[in-house]
Structure 1
Amino acid sequence: MKKRLLRLTALSICGLAPVSVDLSYGESRNPDGSGLIFVSSAHADDDDDDGGGGGGGSSRGSEDRGSSGNWRGNGNLFDLFRRSPERRVETRRASTRRPSRAPGEIIALSLDDAGLQRLTADGFTIRARAPLEISATGIVKLGVPSGMSLEDARRQVASATPGAIADLNHYFEPNQGDASSAPCAEGGCALVRDAIGWPAPNTERACAAAGPIGLIDTAINPAHPSLKDVKLDIIRLAETQAPESGRQHGTAVAALIAGRQDSRAPGLLGDTHLIAIDAFQRTTGETDLAETYNLVRAIDLLASRKVTVINMSLSGPHNLLLEKTVSLVSERNIIQVAAAGNDGPRAKPVYPAAYPEMIAVTAVDRNFKPYRRAGRGDHIDVAALGTGVWTAASVEGAAPRTGTSFAAPFVTAAVAILRTSHPQMSPDEIAKLVTDTAQDLGKPGKDPVFGWGVLDARQLCRS
C-alpha cells in the first residue's frame, strides 16, 4: 500500500457487543532457543498504579550509523542494566541522550551460511539468530570485532552475501505522550470518542471487526478488569533474564482497542481477537526500549498469524531491516498503522510511521486542534483523537491518556472493520474508500499537520 493512496481521513465505525472468551496461555521456548516466551501470568507495576502518563516522549528521530555514538564497545541491551551503579552514573554524565542503538552490534537479513562463516572467521560473533517467514535465511545479530567501527562492520556484513541487508541494531521507544492534557470534568475524557461519532456499543451490529488484530507494544496486564476474558494472546520476545517492560503503555493501548464494553475502560471494538507482542525490555530507571532485531521478529510473527492489521505505537530512527520488513509484510495484504511520534512539530520524521507503506497517524483533541507534541511532515496520513483518551491504567481502573500512541488505535480499529465489511478489497482500495469520507482540516487537501484530515466515524458503515 503506497503512500500516495493513503488518504485515510474519515471513517465510520460500529460498536459491537462483547463476547467473553477464556484467556489461556502456555509457556514455551523456540526450538532454536530464540527466547520466544508466552506470558502466563501478570502482576501490576508498583510504580504505575494510577495509569498516569509520563515517559517524556518518543525516541529520537536522528540516525546513528557511525562509530562515535553515545556508547562504545561490545554488548547489548542487557548492558544497560548490568552496569554497576557507578558506571551508569558515569554514562549519564557523559550524555543526556538515551542510546539510539545497541553498542557493538550489527543485524542482517539474507545473510547465507557461507557469508556468516566468513564473518565469524574475521572476528564477528553470532549473538542471536532467529528464523523468519519473510526471509529464507532469517535474521542474525552479530557482535562487532574489537576496534572496528560500526559503519565499517555494517559494510562488511552487507557485502558478505549478495543481496544481504545490514544495519545497526537501533532502539525504539513507545510513544508515551502526556498523562493528560485535557480536563475530564463530567466524564469529558470518557466521551472524547463521541467527537468523531464513534457509535455506542450494541448499535449497527452488522458492522463487525476483522481479526485477528496485531499489536506490537510493551508488556500488558491481562488481569486488568478491562481485559479479563477478552480474546487476547500475549507473546514476549525477550531472554528469560531480561526485566519485563512496563505494563502501563501496552495495557492502555490494548484496552483502547479491545477492552470489555462493560468495564470502566471500554474498547473501540467488541468481540475481537488481539495478538499482542511485547518487543520491549525495561532498562535503567523506567525506560522501555525495543531492539530492531525484536521488532523485525514481531512483525514477521504477526504476519505468520495472518493478522489483518498491525498497530505500532512506537518510534525510532530509520533502519534498513525494519524498512525491508515493513515493505515485505505490506505485500501480504496486511495494513500497518503507526503513531507519528511525540517529539514535537519541528522534529524529524520518525519510523516506522514515515515509511510509505505505513498509515502514519497524528493526534488531535476533541475540538480537532493538533496535539502540541505531535510530529508533523509530508508523511502524515491521517489525524485521530489522541488527547484525553479514556483507557485502562496498568493495574485497574482507567485514566485519560494523551499522545499519538492513543490516536493510532482509532485508525487500527477502523481498518479492522473495513476489512470485514469489504473483504474483497485490497489495502489500497480500502484507503481509497475511506478517502471519500474525509473531513478535511488545515490547508485544503493533504497537509503536514493533519494529513488528509481527521478520522470521522459517522459515514463508513453507510458507505
Structure 2
Amino acid sequence: MMRMVLPTLLATMIVASPLAAQLLPQVQVPDVGGTVGGVTETLDQTLEGVDETVQREARRLLRTRDRTLDRLLRRNRDSIARDVNGDLARKGELLAMGVTAQDQAAIDDAGFRVLSTETIEGLGLTITRLALPDDLDLAEAEALARELGIGTQISADNLHYQSGARIMTVSSAPVPATVRSAASIGVEVGMIDGATGPWVRPTAAKGFAQGAPAASNHGSAVASLLKGAGVARVRVADVYGTDPAGGNALAIARGLGWLVASGSEVVTISLVGPRNAVVEQAIAAAQRKGVVMVAAVGNDGPAAPPAYPASYDGVVAVTGVDSRNRALIEAGRALHLDYAAPGADVFALDAQGTFTKWRGTSFATPLAAARLAAAIERGGNWRTVLDREARDLGPKGPDATYGRGLLCGDCARKK
C-alpha cells in the first residue's frame, strides 16, 4: 500500500530560484478542468507569454503530479481505477444520490447492483453505493449510469491527497511558543485527515477507512498545529487508515457528518482532489448547519486544475507563504482565494512525537482555521474580525496570490 502525499516528491524541488518563487504564483491560468488526464498537454497554451522560468517550474510540478498518480494507480490496480474524467477513484463502485424506487429497474436491467444505502449522520445526505456491471470498467459504468439517469447525481468515489510534506527532523531545535502554548480557543475544530500519534491527543478520533484510525505524520502535524495555535478541542476524522483507496469521497462525507453531529463549528481539511458531487453536497449540508469549512489550495502549482474542496462555494480557501512572506512556488489555485498563512519553515510534531519542519499549503490551513475559530469565539462577524487581523500582502486589497491577507504570520515558526 502506498499512502499518497503528492508533494513528497516535490521536497527536493522547492529550493527553486527566488525569481520563480516571486513570479510563479502571479500566473493567471484559465480553468483547465478537474481532470488528471490532458492537463499537461494544455500547458503551452495556458502559459503562453509567461516568463520561461515560470513555465519550466509549472511544467515540472505537473509532470511530478502526473507521475505520482500514475505510480499510485500501478501499485494498487486491485482497488483504484480512473473515472470518466481520468481522475483516480475507488475501483468497482459508484456513488449515487437521489435514487428512487423507479430507478431500481434501470439499475437491475443495466447490470448494476446496490451494495448499500445510507444516510450520513449530521448531514441528512442519502448515498447509494452501486457495484458495476461485470463487463464495464469504472469510466464506462459511470458514463452509462449518467446516460440512464440513475438518481439525481452520479459520481465516482474519488480520492483526495494530502497537501504537504515533512522536510527535515529538527528535534533539537527550540519549540516555537505556538506549539507549546496553552489552549485558549474554546470553539471546537474538526479535521479531516489521517489520525494522530500518541504525542498529539485530540478530543476524539474516529476512523472512516480500512484500518482507521491509524497514526499518520501528516495528521499529527495538522493536529499539533491546531493545538499549538491555541485550539482546546480538536476532533479528528481519519479518512485514510491503511486503505490504499483512502481519502475517498464517501469517507470524507462520513467523517464530515460525524464532525458536524459531534459539535465541530470549524472543519479544516488539508486534502485536495477533483470536483466530486458527494463531497460538494456534504459540504453544502454542513454549511447549512452553520459549520465553516477551511481547505488548502494544494501544492500542484498554478497551472494545475482548481483544487477541491477549496473551490466549493463558501469554503475558506487558504494558500501558503514562506518565511519571507512570498507565496509558495508550488501553491495550487482555487476558484477563489481567501487567506494566506505560513506554509514553509513550519514546525510541528510527527506521529512519533518528533519536532519536525514541514512545507505545504496543508500546514497553512490549520493555522488559518485556528484564527477563524478564535474569531467565531469573539462573536460577531468572523469575516470582519479576520479581515482586520490579516496583514495585506502584494497589491493593495484582496488579490489572487494572497487573498485577503496573511493570518497567523508568526505561528509555528522557530523563534
* Counterpart amino acid of residue 105 in structure 1: E
Residue 233 (structure 1) aligned to one of 176, 180, 204? 204
Are 2:32 and 1:63 equivalent residues in the alignment?
no
Query: Distance between the aligned counterparts of 1:405 and 1:184, measured in 2?
Result: 19
1:80 maps to what in 2? 76
Aligned partners of 1:61 and 1:351 also within 8 Å = no
| Percent of aligned pairs with the same amino acid | 23
Structure 1 residues 406 and 369: alpha-carbon distance in aligned structure 2, compared to 1, 3 A threshold: same
* Counterpart amino acid of residue 9 in structure 2: G
Specify the SS of the correspondent of 2:114.
Answer: strand
1:343 maps to what in 2? 300
Are 2:347 and 1:387 equivalent residues in the alignment?
no
Specify the SS of the correspondent of 1:360.
Answer: strand
Structure 1 residues 145 and 134: alpha-carbon distance in aligned structure 2, compared to 1, 3 A threshold: farther
Query: Distance between the aligned counterparts of 1:113 and 1:65, measured in 2?
Result: 36
Aligned partners of 1:150 and 1:168 also within 8 Å = no
* Counterpart amino acid of residue 150 in structure 2: A
Q: Aligned-pair distance for 1:154?
A: 3.5
Q: TM-score, normalised by structure 2?
A: 0.73
> Deviations for 1:296-348, whole angstroms, at most 9, x for unmatched residues?
11112211112110010100101122112212211111110001101113222
Which aligned pairs between 1:116-131 and structure 2 lie closer than 5 A? 116=104, 118-131=106-119
User: RMSD of aligned C-alpha atoms?
Assistant: 3.8
**Mind listing any 5+ residue stretches in structure 1 that lack a counterpart?**
1-46, 71-76, 259-266, 459-463
Residue 407 (structure 2) aligned to one of 455, 458, 461? 455
Specify the SS of the correspondent of 1:448.
Answer: coil
Which aligned pairs between 1:44-443 and structure 2 lie closer than 5 A? 55-56=8-9, 62-63=34-35, 80=76, 100-116=88-104, 118-133=106-121, 136=124, 138-148=126-136, 149-156=140-147, 159-161=149-151, 164-179=152-167, 187=173, 190-191=175-176, 201=181, 208-221=184-197, 223-224=198-199, 227=200, 230-239=201-210, 242=211, 247-258=216-227, 267-269=228-230, 272-282=232-242, 289-422=246-379, 425=380, 429-443=381-395
* Counterpart amino acid of residue 451 in structure 1: G
Q: TM-score, normalised by structure 1?
A: 0.66
**Mind listing any 5+ residue stretches in structure 2 that lack a counterpart?**
12-31, 39-65, 67-72, 411-415
* Counterpart amino acid of residue 454 in structure 1: L
* Counterpart amino acid of residue 239 in structure 2: A
Q: Aligned-pair distance for 1:116?
A: 4.0
Q: Aligned-pair distance for 1:438?
A: 3.0
Aligned partners of 1:61 and 1:316 also within 8 Å = no
Q: Aligned-pair distance for 1:376?
A: 3.2
Structure 1 residues 57 and 250: alpha-carbon distance in aligned structure 2, compared to 1, 3 A threshold: farther
> Deviations for 1:119-167, whole angstroms, at most 9, x for unmatched residues?
135311223433214665621221221344134234156x234xx2211
Aligned length: 348
> Deviations for 1:59-105, whole angstroms, at most 9, x for unmatched residues?
x9833799xxx9xxxxxx9x92858xxxx9xx9xx9xxx96122342
Q: Aligned-pair distance for 1:246?
A: 5.8
Aligned partners of 2:310 and 2:334 also within 8 Å = no
Q: Aligned-pair distance for 1:244?
A: 6.7
